[in-house]
């Protein structure tokens, strides 16, 4: 059995590089430990652990045990430190206050929880030999270490948390569906070399994810009723989907051109003849018929939504009941 662990520090929302490690560990391991590496109080942020757990839940990454907090295992580290000494190969294991450093706590946990494989970023590669020797000094077989490339910014350096879309929470706030982020990280897999962050790729995957979402799920994610789902399908993100829904649900008052009446009267005739609920093709056909007889589509859009631009007009007609479409046309007239 492959036993792996994901061990973030509680510094707030996950960096996409850490999220890559989380997804890779979950894909690789049969059993996953969630461990919170909180031995450095200067790095810990209030609410940091809760933010990480929320990010993992949003991404759909589940763990089999944890969260285990290193801050609650001080006695075990002190015991191991007494066996090994305060220093090992010139590296401090126990601080003056008796607390464990990262190296000791990490290796003791890997030994105690029977971790067989450690998947982590290339920035930890220099620690591998020390961690192997520490595990052996504790009488254990070291896990197999697998290091993957880091996610870099446009400047070729490790992506800053302040960069656009660099944290899971910021992607969530931008309306990117979780499925798009997860798919991007799964595409990267375990990169052997560092990779440049491709936010445009995530945005393309967001459009695909929205197109694939079941009606009820998409409506819920956009905070809209299921009936307006047709206007949401062309959205580039869930925030935009919510705005498109508002355009249909909350029409604005608009000033129509003086020659609007013929278009709206003709639209009323066509809509009266059509069935109550229009499917996609019937809505498109109605728009084509209106245009064929000289109807001004911009005028109709203004009458139905109060806006000059927005979702496809056929999608608006598909989302509105016959009664509501005719009511708005009458109100405009």
- pLDDT for the residue numbered 258: 86
The pLDDT value recorded for residue 276 is 85
How many beta carbons lie within 10 A of that of residue 268, not counting itself? 15
- The residue among 107, 130, 151 that closes a domain is 151
Residue 43 pLDDT: 84
- Do 229 and 319 reside in the same domain of the chain? no
229 inside domain: yes
Residue 277 and residue 321 in contact, taking contact as beta carbons nearer than 8 Å: yes
Longest CA pairwise span in the chain (Å): 91
Residue 77 placed within a domain:
yes
Give the count of beta carbons closer than 10 Å to the beta carbon of residue 126: 9
Assigned token pair, 324? 């509501």
Together in a domain, 73 and 122? yes
pLDDT score, position 234: 83
Distances in Å between the alpha carbon of 19 and those of 37, 67, 100, 176?
A: 15, 16, 26, 15
Tens-digit pLDDT string for the chain (333 aa): 999 999 999 999 999 999 999 999 999 999 999 999 998 888 888 999 999 999 999 999 999 999 999 999 999 999 999 999 888 988 999 999 999 999 999 999 999 999 999 999 999 999 999 999 999 999 999 999 999 999 999 999 999 999 999 999 999 999 999 999 999 999 999 999 999 999 999 999 999 999 999 999 999 999 999 999 999 988 999 999 999 999 999 998 888 888 999 999 999 999 999 988 899 999 999 999 999 999 999 999 999 999 988 899 999 999 999 999 999 999 988
Closest residue by Cα to residue 328 from 248, 228, 262, 227: 248
Q: 91-98: list long-range contacts, CB under 8 Å, 24+ apart.
A: 91/130, 98/74
The residue out of 116, 151, 186 marking a domain boundary is 151
Claim to verify: residue 45 and residue 145 sit in the same structural domain:
yes
Domain check: are 244 and 264 in the same one? no
Q: Count structural domains, the chain.
A: 3
Domain that holds residue 265: 260-332
pLDDT for 127 equals 97
Identify whether 284 is part of a domain. yes
3-state DSSP call for residue 137? Answer: helix
Residues 26, 95 share a domain? yes
Does residue 157 sit in helix, strand or coil?
Answer: coil
Q: Assign residue 235 a region: left if phi > 0, alpha if psi is -120 to 50, beta otherwise?
A: beta
What pLDDT score does 257 carry?
A: 87
Given a contact cutoff of 8 angstroms between Cβ atoms, the answer to whether 247 and 307 are in contact is: yes
Position 128 in a domain: yes
> Do residues 225 and 264 both lie within one domain?
no
- The radius of gyration computed from the CA coordinates of the chain, to the nearest angstrom, equals 28
Same domain, 18 and 120: yes
180 falls within a domain: no
Among 127, 151, 175, which residue terminates a domain? 151
195 three-state secondary structure: strand
Helices (H), the chain: 16-28, 48-59, 74-84, 102-112, 128-137, 168-173, 178-188, 199-212, 215-222, 229-232, 238-249, 260-273, 280-292, 297-305, 313-319, 322-332
Q: What is the pLDDT of residue 275?
A: 87
């Amino acid at each position: 059995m492959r036993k792996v662990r994901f061990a973030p520090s509680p510094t707030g929302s996950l960096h996409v590089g850490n999220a890559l490690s989380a997804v890779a560990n979950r894909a690789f391991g049969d059993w996953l430990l969630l461990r919170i590496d909180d031995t450095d109080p200067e790095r810990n942020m209030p609410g940091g652990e809760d933010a990480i757990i929320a990010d993992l839940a949003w991404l759909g990454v589940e763990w089999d045990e944890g969260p285990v907090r290193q801050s609650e295992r001080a006695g075990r580290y002190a015991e191991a430190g007494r066996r090994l000494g305060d220093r090992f190969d010139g590296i401090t294991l126990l601080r003056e206050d008796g607390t464990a450093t990262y190296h000791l706590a990490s290796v003791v946990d890997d030994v105690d929880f029977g971790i067989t494989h450690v998947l982590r970023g290339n920035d930890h590669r220099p620690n591998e030999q020390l961690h192997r020797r520490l595990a052996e000094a504790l009488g254990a077989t070291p896990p197999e270490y697998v290091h993957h490339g880091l996610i870099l910014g446009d400047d070729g350096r490790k992506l800053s948390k302040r960069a656009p879309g660099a944290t899971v929470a910021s992607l969530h706030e931008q309306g990117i569906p979780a499925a798009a982020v997860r798919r991007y990280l799964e595409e990267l897999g375990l990169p052997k070399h560092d990779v440049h962050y491709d936010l445009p790729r995530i945005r393309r995957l967001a459009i695909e994810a929205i197109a694939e979402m079941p009606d009820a799920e998409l409506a819920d994610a956009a905070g809209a009723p299921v009936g307006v789902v047709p206007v949401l399908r062309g959205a580039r993100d869930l925030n935009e989907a919510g705005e498109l829904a508002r355009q249909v649900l909350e029409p604005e008052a608009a000033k129509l051109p003086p020659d609007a009446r013929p278009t709206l009267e003709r639209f009323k005739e066509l809509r009266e003849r059509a069935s109550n609920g229009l499917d996609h093709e019937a809505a498109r056909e109605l728009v084509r018929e209106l245009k064929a007889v000289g109807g001004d589509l911009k005028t109709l859009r203004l009458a139905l939504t109060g806006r000059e631009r927005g979702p496809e007009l056929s999608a608006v007609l598909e989302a509105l009941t016959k009664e509501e479409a005719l009511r708005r046309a009458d109100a405009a007239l």
